Structure 1
Amino acid sequence: MVSLRSPSALPVVGVLVDGRTYRHLLYLLLAIPLGFVYWTLSSFGITFGLVLSVVLVGLVILLATLIGARIAAGFERWLANRLLGTDLDRYDDVPDDTDGAVAGVRKYVDAASTWRGVGFLSLKFFVTVLAFLLLVALVNGLSLVLAPLRYPYVATFGESNGEPVTWAIDTLPEALLATAIGVVSVLVALHVTNLVAYVCRQMATALLGEPTADEEASSETSASVEESAPDDETLPPGSDEFVPADAVEPDPNDDSVRDERGA
């Protein structure tokens, strides 16, 4: 029988045809502008909020920053569910009914989900840096892959000590070598993309929400099935376990047994 193996399950190169890879890549590409916006707004809110905390406007800015962090965390939870494969629901740690404006403000400050969201958004800055480096690696790698169609040309890889780092590709052997290097660069970048996405998924699971009821129910069902499974020592009927002959009691209705006793 011939077994058909999914192309995405192939080692090393399967990442090229795995749809999850491109969802992860989209997540990291979105992290670049989002991380910049989160960092700018949070820095502005915390800095000016602390400076102006001696007056009422500073406290309002700090509170607005916390509320904005909760909204951003909710959006990040939605992104993680759509692109990272999580199934998270928001934390239910903010009471619905409060008496007075002060109690309404305090419920968000006291909620652990608020500070978890702030922690996630702070870590998102490092994800933004990694996403930018991966984007640069992919662009340069794809440029080299297309070298046989573009040469002669000069490939630019950034700057070093104020001088541009370039590679003049003038011949076909150089273009073929550039293609091989580009393919390796793209594969490495995509594998690192999946690794970074895995870290982001773990971050989202720990800081942005809790599994939905359906996922918890399925986990409990699988656990109950495992608990109710028979032990390995219990053998089903018709088992091939060896039983000594002297351990089996003879059947009194068996004719052969009566003949042996009569003899």
Structure 2
Amino acid sequence: MVSLRPLAALPVVGVVADGRTYRRLLYLLIAVPLWFVYSGFVTFALAFGIVFSVVLVGVGILIAAVVASRIAAGLERWLANRLLGTDLVAADDLPAAADGGSSGAVATVRAYLSAPSTWRGLGFVSLKFWVTVLAFAPLAVLARSLALVAAPIRYPYAPQFGEVNGEPAVWAIDTAPEAALAAGVGVVGLLVGLHLTNLIAGGARLMAVALLGESDESDDGDDADRVTVERDGDRETTDDRDGSDERGADSDDEPDADGFEFDGEPADPDGDPADRG
């Protein structure tokens, strides 16, 4: 029977049939508005925090911004688990009293500021800016490519590709062969855009694994399996040894290599005839 490879496993073009590609594309699409929220919040916190730091109000704003970055890190961790295929949980480096809010305000703030996960989350939110900047490249390529793929049903069509020496670069598509060529270029552009999406989202996934928490995977089951295999191997070795001992004990009853059995020792042919009689 001939087994067909899944479409997602095909090289180059399999990215079109892979559902993970579109989840990663959604992740990059969501990253754009989140970047505006993060940048606005950081700009506000830095501006007012530095200006009013002389009256201690700004220090409070800066501390609140750092602590609030944990909320953003939690949102990013949830997005990574849902869309990037990670399995992250929040790092357990915050004292239970501060996490439950049973301690005082000063102790809680001190606990948040001393937790390494707070600063790792802040680092991820800061680096997310570059992920968003890079995300514009595949999004722009995909938008242009989709327009070209639709050229056979919308020509005459004149897409514009930026400017050259102050003049707009326009491709006039007026005939069916030109529309077919534009569609082929659009298909290639779609493949390039989807591969760029996977590349950039893959980098964001590595950042999330490194900065947003701990993996929820456990190797206990593998260890148990390894112990079981070793014990089974020991038992098999013991059985083999026992079997070899039993075969060694019964080897006296086996016939000779020539197929003859002897009840006693054979008589000496050179012995005394009287003894033989």
Q: For the superposition of Structure 1 and Structure 2, which TM-score range results when normalised by the shorter chain?
A: 0.7 to 0.9
Aligned to 2:72: 72
Match for residue 178 of structure 2 among 168, 174, 179: 174
Aligned to 1:117: 121
Deviation of 1:254 (Å): 1.5
Letter in 2 for 1:109: L
* Per-residue deviation, residues 146-174 of structure 1 (Å, max 9, x unmatched): 11111111112234554433211111221
Distance 1:178 1:227 in 2: 61
Aligned to 1:221: 221
1:4 counterpart = 2:4 = yes
Aligned to 2:274: none
Aligned to 1:31: 31
* Per-residue deviation, residues 83-109 of structure 1 (Å, max 9, x unmatched): 011111111111132543221211111
Q: What secondary structure does 1:154 align onto?
A: coil
Q: Is the 8 A contact 1:36 1:125 kept in 2?
A: no
Aligned to 2:44: 44
* Per-residue deviation, residues 238-262 of structure 1 (Å, max 9, x unmatched): xxxxxxxxxx979221224472777
Gaps of 5+ in 2: 238-246, 267-277
Query: Does the C-alpha gap of structure 1 residues 163 and 58 become closer, same or farther in structure 2, counting only changes over 3 Å?
Result: farther
Q: What secondary structure does 1:41 align onto?
A: helix
Aligned to 2:149: 145
* Per-residue deviation, residues 213-259 of structure 1 (Å, max 9, x unmatched): xx22xx332255356645xx99x79xxxxxxxxxx979221224472
Q: What secondary structure does 2:170 align onto?
A: strand
For the aligned residue pairs, the C-alpha RMSD in angstroms reads 2.5
Q: Is the 8 A contact 1:32 1:128 kept in 2?
A: yes
Q: What secondary structure does 1:153 align onto?
A: coil
Query: Does the C-alpha gap of structure 1 residues 56 and 183 become closer, same or farther in structure 2, counting only changes over 3 Å?
Result: same
Q: Is the 8 A contact 2:67 2:113 kept in 1?
A: no
In the comparison of the two structures, how many residue pairs are matched? Answer: 247
User: Please, which moves more after superposition, 161-170 or 8-17?
Assistant: 161-170
User: Which structure has the larger Rg?
Assistant: 2
How high is the sequence identity, in percent, across the aligned residues? 56
Match for residue 165 of structure 1 among 139, 164, 169: 169
Distance 2:175 2:96 in 1: 70
Distance 2:131 2:165 in 1: 26
Match for residue 198 of structure 1 among 198, 202, 219: 202
Distance 1:101 1:177 in 2: 66
Q: Is the 8 A contact 2:73 2:121 kept in 1?
A: yes
Distance 1:11 1:226 in 2: 35
Query: Does the C-alpha gap of structure 1 residues 91 and 153 become closer, same or farther in structure 2, counting only changes over 3 Å?
Result: same
Aligned to 2:254: 254
Letter in 2 for 1:118: L
Letter in 2 for 1:4: L
Gaps of 5+ in 1: 238-247
Runs (4+) of structure 1 exceeding 4 A deviation are 226-230, 260-263
Q: What secondary structure does 1:2 align onto?
A: coil
Letter in 2 for 1:59: V
Distance 1:90 1:84 in 2: 16
Distance 2:139 2:52 in 1: 39
Q: Is the 8 A contact 2:148 2:182 kept in 1?
A: yes
1:128 counterpart = 2:132 = yes
Distance 1:226 1:130 in 2: 44
Deviation of 1:39 (Å): 1.8
Deviation of 1:59 (Å): 1.1
Deviation of 1:201 (Å): 1.0
Letter in 1 for 2:8: S
Taking structure 1 as the reference length, what is the TM-score of the superposition? 0.85
Q: What secondary structure does 2:253 align onto?
A: coil
Q: Is the 8 A contact 2:69 2:122 kept in 1?
A: yes
Distance 2:222 2:163 in 1: 55
Aligned to 1:60: 60
Distance 1:105 1:160 in 2: 55
Q: Is the 8 A contact 1:152 1:169 kept in 2?
A: yes
